[in-house]
Structure 1
């Protein structure tokens, strides 16, 4: 290996390399890099994307199967089994207060403490 990083070849070896497929490709690549490297690379990306679209379609089809349209019978069952709505009950249920039976009781103040009555 020389300082430039290229391998030294004798004249005979260089002629043999230039006659090989790799040598011919290297020469063509130097003349027109997009045509011999960029275009095949871009076409590989596009074709790969097209080929993989079948796999992504399967993924979305499986997700669609999970979410099915409600039948009329299911809709009727949902309507009949619906519970009554009470705003106070929902408020306490969402706060987690419905599970506990308790009443708000004022904490007794110590001696000399103000009542903070406005």
Structure 2
């Protein structure tokens, strides 16, 4: 006997998009609540003390936005150039030796870390 299965996954947003929206919501709520939270713990805190936390959150928001825009642009250019799909690139990456993979991971980490520091330095 055949049963009817509802495909509710088509109605819900993708998990990655939902995670990104949740992160943005948490950062924006932190932007709004951290100064008031700091004033409740330390009533003598000046406006500048609370503003430093907002600058750090602004740097994080800029970093996340920069990463999303650069990923979107890379994907668009990737499709425009007619290169391999990302899944094919992952399969080719897995064929590399372990030291080549480790070198690539360190280079990626260093570039992401420097981009985050640059966003914080630009804001502060």
TM-score (norm 1): 0.32
Which is richer in helix? 2
Work out which structure has the larger RCO, using CA pairs closer than 8 Å and 6 or more positions apart in sequence: 2
